[in-house]
Amino acid sequence: MAERAARRCCLGWDFSTQQVKVVAVDAELSVFYEDSVQFDRDLVEFGTQGGVHVHKDGLTVTSPVLMWVQALDIILEKMKASGFDFSQVLALSGAGQQHGSVYWKTGASQVLTSLSPDLPLREQLQACFSISNCPVWMDSSTAAQCRQLEAAVGGAQALSRLTGSRAYERFTGNQIAKIYQQNPEAYSHTERISLVSSFAASLFLGSYSPVDYSDGSGMNLLQIQDKVWSQACLGACAPRLEEKLGRPVPSCSVVGPISSYFVQRYGFPPGCKVVAFTGDNPASLAGMRLEEGDIAVSLGTSDTLFLWLQEPTPALEGHIFCNPVDPQHYMALLCFKNGSLMREKIRDESASGSWSEFSKALQSTEMGNGGNLGFYFDVMEITPEIIGRHRFSAENREVSAFPREVEIRALIEGQFMAKKIHAEALGYRVMPKTKILATGGASHNRDILQVLADVFGAPVYIIDTANSACVGSAYRAFHGLAAGTDMPFAEIVKLAPDRRLVATPTPGASQVYEALLQRYAMLEQRILSQTRGPPE
Ligand SMILES: O=C(CO)[C@@H](O)[C@H](O)CF
């Protein structure tokens, strides 16, 4: 075989819900290798669906930790068989599905630090976990623990101010509380609790990797301003929890050299650095190369906003995390459940199922839609909690229908005005240098993106985020190589392929939407008060 040219690189890993994925990125920030192991397809003995087990109660959702371990064995063997040159890997980092938790049994650290390079990880670690089936982000069985935690710290808003989010069932602190309450034996035999991200980093490190600030912000346990565990939250969840979590670290930290296990078994260089792993969404923010003032809009089944925040305003909706690439700043996630399924419904009802008809309707109606406004929530929306369709005339009178073109524009303008209003409620502000990065299915429709640019008053770029968590992790590994030089992340990634500009604000857009946004916010409050009843 022709000698392959040596190609110094960093690896980016993603331990996500359905697969383990890896990319190799070279010094020019080009992705030249990628591979994955799909849990359902490649590890059928675990019997997962979508990488998880949904339990009979319909609320508890777990994944087998040994499935994740074995997936790493398999993907490394696949890379080795493909001739991948591990000796060129300068550093690696990674991501994990957020909120999931891994429970290392007492004594496991001795096994982790003395792995034999002659055996796969699965064989050596199979007695190292006190909980075999780990709770993951799809679990919603901890409502009682959420109420207990909020009560312990003075309520939902107080918890949000402290940790960046009100109590959410999937958040790790509440999951740990449930395990302590329902399986005290297992909890007492647990010497370390990792997130999925820090668990994966521990495998590469050959010792327990600390939780990073950014993924740690998804636990309802970390004080996001001071970047320390909240003693009130720890105490409300389980005893002696701080010693099981270890001290959290900045997300850009180099947590150590790679374990000798990987040097001897696969040929990684002994000096290969392990940079703290983080959550998949923070890693995606890095992969999208969001900068101060930018906003990423993922237009999928549900629409998700990634915000870069300098000064957060924690609220009862959305999630604020420590920023994964700038320890002084923050990021926020806002999820809008009525996303593409709502757009497809209105397309079917008002554009004969045709996206080109849908686009023509947007082209044939004016910005501001003649003052007509709509709220379209066929499933209970979470931002904010409203259900149903509510249409209003220019005089703020509720009406039962709009002409089809008006309906289409009312849907899209309403979806984007909601995003701007709720992003600003979390502390986001459009800046002169703001870029809107659009991704997901609807980002292929230029007319929809034109409305996005007009409502936000900022240019819209499209980006491919297929590997964003992996690529972001490789970028963060390169950033870790520059640790101690204070080189900003943006400088490290400036060679990355550029984003494509697809829409800029129409002249006069800001005047139109400044007034409309105020009406939208007022009408949203009117609907909320009608559905919630008058405030106490
Ligand atoms: O729960 C979430 C974020 O809060 C999900 O995006 C998970 O991170 C997906 F793995």
Q: What is the pLDDT of residues 25-65, one digit of tens each?
A: 999 999 999 999 999 999 999 999 999 999 999 999 999 99
Closest CA to 250 of 284, 224, 285: 224
The whole-model pTM stands at 0.94
Q: What is the pLDDT of residues 418-462, one digit of tens each?
A: 999 999 999 999 999 999 999 988 999 999 999 999 999 999 999
Spacing, Cα 149 to ligand 1 middle (Å)? 21
- By most ligand atoms within 8 Å of CB, the mutation choice from 170, 319, 321 for ligand 1 is 170
User: What is the β-pairing status of strands 89-96 and 278-279?
Assistant: parallel
- What pLDDT score does 1 carry? 46
pLDDT band at 531 (very low <50, low <70, confident <90, very high): confident
Q: Kindly give the number of the ligand 1 atom that is closest to the alpha carbon of 138.
A: 1
- What pLDDT score does 435 carry? 96
Q: What is the pLDDT of residues 384-423, one digit of tens each?
A: 999 999 999 999 999 999 999 999 999 999 999 999 999 9
Q: What is the mean pLDDT of residues 144-157?
A: 98
Q: Kindly give the number of the ligand 1 atom that is closest to the alpha carbon of 96.
A: 10
| CB atoms near residue 119 (< 10 Å) | 12
Q: Kindly give the number of the ligand 1 atom that is closest to the alpha carbon of 304.
A: 6
- Put residue 331 in one of left, alpha, beta given phi > 0 → left and psi -120 to 50 → alpha: beta
Q: What is the mean pLDDT of residues 496-520?
A: 96
Q: Which residue has the higher pLDDT, 486 or 523?
A: 523
Spacing, Cα 311 to ligand 1 middle (Å)? 23
Q: What is the mean pLDDT of residues 221-244?
A: 98
Closest CA to 373 of 455, 439, 489: 455
What is the Cα–Cα distance from 412 to 451, expressed in whole angstroms? 7
Please name each of the domains of the chain with its CATH number: 9-282 (3.30.420.40), 289-535 (3.30.420.40)
pLDDT band at 536 (very low <50, low <70, confident <90, very high): very low
pLDDT band at 370 (very low <50, low <70, confident <90, very high): very high
Q: Kindly give the number of the ligand 1 atom that is closest to the alpha carbon of 280.
A: 8
Taken as a whole, the chain contains a residue count of: 536
Pocket (CB within 6 angstroms of ligand 1): 16-17, 97-99, 137, 170, 218, 279-281, 319, 333
Whose Cα sits closest to atom 3 in ligand 1?
A: 98
Q: What is the mean pLDDT of residues 470-485?
A: 94
User: What is the β-pairing status of strands 19-26 and 330-336?
Assistant: unpaired
- Contacts for 7 with CB less than 8 Å, ≥ 6 apart: 24, 26, 32, 85, 88
Whose Cα sits closest to atom 9 in ligand 1?
A: 97
Q: Which two tokens stand for residue 325?
A: 């690439």
Q: Kindly give the number of the ligand 1 atom that is closest to the alpha carbon of 17.
A: 10
284 pLDDT more than 90: yes
- What pLDDT score does 4 carry? 58
Whose Cα sits closest to atom 2 in ligand 1?
A: 98
pLDDT band at 301 (very low <50, low <70, confident <90, very high): confident
Spacing, Cα 425 to ligand 1 middle (Å)? 21
Max intra-chain CA distance, the chain: 76
What is the Cα–Cα distance from 480 to 476, expressed in whole angstroms? 6
Q: What is residue 244's three-state secondary structure? A: helix
Q: Kindly give the number of the ligand 1 atom that is closest to the alpha carbon of 218.
A: 4
pLDDT band at 308 (very low <50, low <70, confident <90, very high): very high
User: What is the β-pairing status of strands 295-299 and 436-439?
Assistant: parallel
- Burial (CB count <10 Å: 0-12, 13-18, 19+), residue 463: buried
What is the Cα–Cα distance from 213 to 198, expressed in whole angstroms? 11
User: What is the pLDDT of the chain when averaged over all its residues?
Assistant: 96
- % of the chain residues with pLDDT over 90: 94
Q: Which two tokens stand for residue 438?
A: 């659009």
- What pLDDT score does 2 carry? 52
- What pLDDT score does 441 carry? 87
Q: What is the mean pLDDT of residues 70-95?
A: 98
Whose Cα sits closest to atom 10 in ligand 1?
A: 97
**φ/ψ (deg, to 5) at 84:** -60, 135
Beta strands in 109-234, from DSSP E residues, in sequence order: 133-135, 190-195, 222-223, 228-229
What is the Cα–Cα distance from 507 to 307, expressed in whole angstroms? 25
Tokens 């640019």 correspond to 453
- By most ligand atoms within 8 Å of CB, the mutation choice from 20, 98, 306, 382 for ligand 1 is 98
466 pLDDT more than 90: no
Whose Cα sits closest to atom 8 in ligand 1?
A: 98
| CB atoms near residue 122 (< 10 Å) | 17
Spacing, Cα 161 to ligand 1 middle (Å)? 20
